[in-house]
Structure 1
Amino acid sequence: MAVRARSLSRPGVAMHREGTRSVVRSLPEEVPVALTFNGSTQAVMMATPADIADFAHGFALSEGLISHPSEVEEFEAVTHERGIEARFWLREDRAAALRERQRNMMGPTGCGLCGIDSLDQALRPLDALPEGGPVLERAEVARATDALRAHQPLHDQTRAVHAAGFLLPGRGIVMAREDVGRHNALDKLIGALVRQDVNPAEGAFVLTSRVSVDMVQKTVMARCPILIAVSAPTALALRMAEEARLTLAAFARSGGFDLYAAPERIVDGDAHVA
């Protein structure tokens, strides 16, 4: 498979009050990525052409298309002229379940009610996270997004991508992934963790973005109990986090943060695993 560059240098003209000058900027690349399961396309996403296997596996897990990597019999990423095809071949029982899901989502058009299934899927119920789990010191949460900055080489090049990192109590950020899309960055991180047999339940996800409903959904689907973000949650995302017992720390920057749902996993003293 040919490897696509994550960024591309392009010339431009910088214009300021003092005048103009020629510049060369590194711009992040993005390509369409088609995710196919047993020959059927499930989704096409725009993504940075790096860590495609991580992205595909994370997307499949966080969207409930698979429940464990063992359900994948074969995977390959094939580069085409206009994009990348991420091909899954699933174990037959999982493939049958996916085909049934696709049949249930098909229905008549123009009925005025045919969007209900899609709305239900957008706000799908989540299994609540178990009580307990990892506990972080308040200082670890406060410096989490600053620590993530050291794991963002593509951002340093382009200033145009998001990142998601995995933080372990007492160890800091141990893994991170970048992408032009905030959802993609989180999917890449989830995929990287499960493919390397790292349990998301043992730490926290750290995001360079706001917290929307889908970011909460992906975090809970991965069974990660703590979400730390540099920006704000939406009101619906917060309600969903509360219902799922997901610890949510937002506005985490400049040495502070706002703590919302499930605050018991953030403590003032020494961190420990409950």
Structure 2
Amino acid sequence: MQETASRPSLVLPRLARQGDQAEPGFRAVAEETAVALTYGRSTHAVMMASPIALEDLGLGFSLTEGLIGSPAEIISLGIVPRPAGIEVQMEVAEACASALARRRRRLAGPLGCGLCGIESLEEAGRDLPSVTAGTTLPHTEIGAAMEALSAAQALHRETRAVHAAGFWQPGQGLALLREDVGRHNALDKLAGALARQGRSAGAGALLLTSRVSVEMVQKAAMIGAPLLVAVSAPTALAVRVAEGCGITLIALARGKACEIFTHPNRVC
């Protein structure tokens, strides 16, 4: 029977080789465990995730997937360890039942693959709200934001194996950060943390340590984030969706360089 992981990392013995030299020692490795998101008594999604900030994950996933419209629609949320993983058990308002039926998932990919398990092709191109927040980001802060994100990644610094999503407020700095073995999970955790703290995603920029796939843009749109900044490149579909829903997409943000793909008017 599998032991449920509860720590974000584990120190394990390893043998380091370089040429003819071999040196025993230890390395911290990132932990991951199966996390089931349940609504009522029904499992809606199962994913492999870092076993931290799971309240944020449950709330954030519910918001970014459109299963609820506001945090108030989650009546209760509990974390229940199981022999094979962890359950995030949620009870939602009755009015959310139809959304749950429309967006039901049986299984999400092992690292948070955002489209695995949906029931129709139409769901992959779901309708998104228009993002109209007028928040602007000085171009001089883009590099500083990504540097701050990197510096704040304690779990990644320890393990070199996790992604991060951060929230940057122009003129103020890095306000929040969440880490996870899955990039989608990290963004969902950040969305949940923003909601739990009563912060508006429209007041700043989302920062990502990963590439920008369409699911990341969809999740950003669902919480009204006007700016999405990533260290890696976007997909073509992600660019089209960002253009259509009004998100400023900034990618390949490294040092003083970056590339702005959509709605450049928000970068000043």
* Paired amino acid for 2:234: P
Runs of 4+ deviating beyond 4 Å? none
Query: 2:208, 2:103 → 1: CA distance?
Result: 31
User: Which residue is 2:211 aligned to?
Assistant: 210
The Cα of 1:99 is off from its aligned counterpart by 5.3
Inter-CA distance 211–100: structure 2 relative to 1 (3 Å threshold): closer
Aligned match for 2:95, one of 90, 93, 96: 93
Query: 1:148, 1:9 → 2: CA distance?
Result: 24
User: Where in structure 2 are the equivalents of 1:20-31 lying within 5 Å?
Assistant: 20-31=22-33
Query: 1:59, 1:100 → 2: CA distance?
Result: 15
Report if the CA contact (8 A) 1:161-1:178 is conserved: yes
User: Which residue is 1:111 aligned to?
Assistant: none
User: Which residue is 1:225 aligned to?
Assistant: 226
The TM-score, its normalising length taken from structure 1, stands at 0.89
Query: 2:102, 2:216 → 1: CA distance?
Result: 22
What is the CA deviation profile of residues 155-197 of structure 1, one whole-angstrom value per residue up to 9, with x for unaligned ones? 0110000000000010111100000000000000000000111
- Alignment of 1:51 with 2:57, yes or no, is no
Query: 1:18, 1:266 → 2: CA distance?
Result: 52
Q: What is the RMSD of the two structures over their aligned residues, measured on CA atoms?
A: 1.9
Q: SS at the partner of 1:261? A: coil
Q: Unpaired segments of 5 or more residues in structure 1? A: 106-114, 268-274
The TM-score, its normalising length taken from structure 2, stands at 0.91
The Cα of 1:116 is off from its aligned counterpart by 9.7
Report if the CA contact (8 A) 2:5-2:85 is conserved: no
* Paired amino acid for 1:264: N
Identical-residue share of aligned pairs (%): 47
The Cα of 1:92 is off from its aligned counterpart by 1.7
User: Which residue is 2:75 aligned to?
Assistant: 73
Query: 2:6, 2:103 → 1: CA distance?
Result: 32
Query: 2:77, 2:175 → 1: CA distance?
Result: 26
The Cα of 1:23 is off from its aligned counterpart by 2.0
User: Which residue is 1:123 aligned to?
Assistant: 125
* Paired amino acid for 2:70: H
User: Which residue is 1:134 aligned to?
Assistant: 135
Inter-CA distance 197–101: structure 2 relative to 1 (3 Å threshold): same
* Paired amino acid for 1:84: I
Q: SS at the partner of 1:136? A: coil
User: Where in structure 2 are the equivalents of 1:124-273 lying within 5 Å?
Assistant: 124-130=126-132, 132-267=133-268
User: Which residue is 2:110 aligned to?
Assistant: none
User: Which residue is 2:112 aligned to?
Assistant: none
Query: 1:210, 1:100 → 2: CA distance?
Result: 30
What is the CA deviation profile of residues 112-159 of structure 1, one whole-angstrom value per residue up to 9, with x for unaligned ones? xxx9952111121212211x5211110111222111012111001100
